[in-house]
Amino acid sequence: MGLCRLFSAPTSGGSNASVGGGSVMGFLLGLQLLATRYPHVVTEVLPKMSQLRSQNQGRPVACLTLLWAASQAGLTSLGHGLAVWLELLMPVMGTRMCAPYAVESLSALLARYPASEDGDAAAGQACNLGMRSLFTFMDVVYGSGPRLPLSSEQGRVLRDQLYPRLRHLCYAAETNRSAYFPSYLRRLGTGSSLLNAELLSSLEECLCRDPECLSVWRQLFVIQAPQSLRLLQHLEAKDAWRHLPRPTQRRLQATLVSWRSTTEAKEPALRDALAVCQALERKMGGPGFPWVRLLLTTVVLGVGGLVFWDVRLQHGGRFERSGTHALLKDTGLLSAWQKSSTQAAVYLNEGSTWAAEKLPVWYSEASRRLGPPLETAWEQLAKLSVAAWTNSEPLRTQVLRHTHSLLLWGNEWVPVCVESVLGVAHETWSVVGGCVGWLLEHVVHGARLSAHWLTDNLLTGSWSPEKLQSHAVEFASAMQKQAQVAVHWLWERLGSAQ
């Protein structure tokens, strides 16, 4: 609170001193120091600064002094500088004395901070940039009212440099492009040609960056038919639809079909829009130009023409004397071609002879054995097909009635579901795979430690692996001897019994 009063007092004092013709250098230095050190103080006293600006609107020197003092907050913070400019300087863009300074101040502010994704997002969120700020600034730059009191160079800088950067800041603060789409569409066709070109470019960018814009447009199509007609004409006439991502192109094509089949053309704008929908749908559904086929055809025809010219026209149809024959011979392709063609002719002759001998015999035998059963089966299949076609008429009617809506629903939701499932599967696999890897690593490590401990503490001395192996061999030998004795004894007993 004390800092706010400390900033407000020099501001009022500097304004009064400038009106009276006194020196304001001390006030300006103090204000610059405070605004640079504590930029948040300037944004906290913006309502009072706005009131002072309105009071000094008729006194150019005092008003510019006030605006300069507040603009010093942008020396150390882009967010506070933008907040000051939007609140204090943008409302006076229509005045002759303040408009040039407002453009120069915004240009210096944006030039001081290069564009960066994280920095722009933080600055935009700090000063609450978004739809309201962007479209207010757009109305100032491209407004249909009186022209801004700026030179042609300043107007070009404002339109071509400052507006795109401020729009980027708004997009960084609020990334959901579908929130901007309705306002862009509503303004389309209401201003100058420059404004319409900017709106069409922004709408196309929204469709490219955010697939949800197509859903928003689907809801606004009938309500804003003239604006939708202009956007459709832009997409169709300049082939701007090719700039859209492939999934968005498919969804747009399905949307065009839905509009033509479900929209009643009550107004002229709607009728024209549906006609453009049909033309755009035809253009999007048609195949692209076959560049690969054209290239291959050109190459084949060119090579064939050269060979014909060489063999037929230059050497009278004698292949052995042509340059093509010499080229094939030098590259080694002629011998390979002759060898392969000879072998192919031999195999073709043998195959045709074998087929002429065997196929008639096999065909007659197959006809004799399989002919009657196949005829009976064919008759039964024809009867079943007729019965199935007759009985399925209600089902086919329902399917035809709901197929279009089901296809639209599937085209819209299946990619989203597949993407979600794949994302969940990827995240699950990353977690499960990491856990399984960690578990296997510790199991192997524990097994190694257990083996080392058993070897060092238990399997030593008489329990060492070598001793255990020797004991096992001795035990197996003893068991073998006892088995031999038992078999010998049993054999003797059987012999004595006989």
- Helix, strand or coil, per DSSP, at residue 320: helix
Band of residue 492 on the pLDDT scale cut at 50, 70, 90: confident
Please give the Cα distance from 99 to 149 (Å, whole number). 7
> Helices 2-20 and 46-55 sit at what angle, rounded to 10 degrees?
10
Residue 342 CA, chain-centre distance (Å), reads: 56
Work out the average pLDDT over 453-478.
Answer: 76
Work out the average pLDDT over 66-92.
Answer: 83
In percent, how much of the chain has pLDDT > 70?
A: 87
Closest Cα partner for 251 from 411, 417, 406? 411
Look at residue 1 in the predicted model and tell me its pLDDT. 45
Q: Render the burial of 121-145: b for 16+ CB within 10 Å, e for the rest.
A: bebbebbebbbebbbebbebbbeee
Please give the mean pLDDT across all residues of the chain: 80
Q: For the chain, first and last CA: distance in Å?
A: 126
The pLDDT tens digits for 246-282 are: 888 888 888 888 888 888 877 888 888 888 888 888 8
Band of residue 11 on the pLDDT scale cut at 50, 70, 90: low
Look at residue 359 in the predicted model and tell me its pLDDT. 83
Place of tokens 């509009």: 259
> Residue 6's CB: how many other CB atoms inside 10 A?
15
Look at residue 31 in the predicted model and tell me its pLDDT. 66
The pLDDT tens digits for 27-55 are: 566 667 677 777 777 778 778 878 877 87
User: In the numeric block, which tokens belong to residue 31?
Assistant: 């204000």
> Residue 159's CB: how many other CB atoms inside 10 A?
16
Q: Which residue has the higher pLDDT, 469 or 436?
A: 436
The pLDDT tens digits for 285-294 are: 755 556 677 7
- Is the pLDDT at 460 greater than 70, yes or no? no
The pLDDT tens digits for 119-157 are: 777 777 767 787 888 888 888 888 755 677 788 888 888
Please give the Cα distance from 435 to 150 (Å, whole number). 65
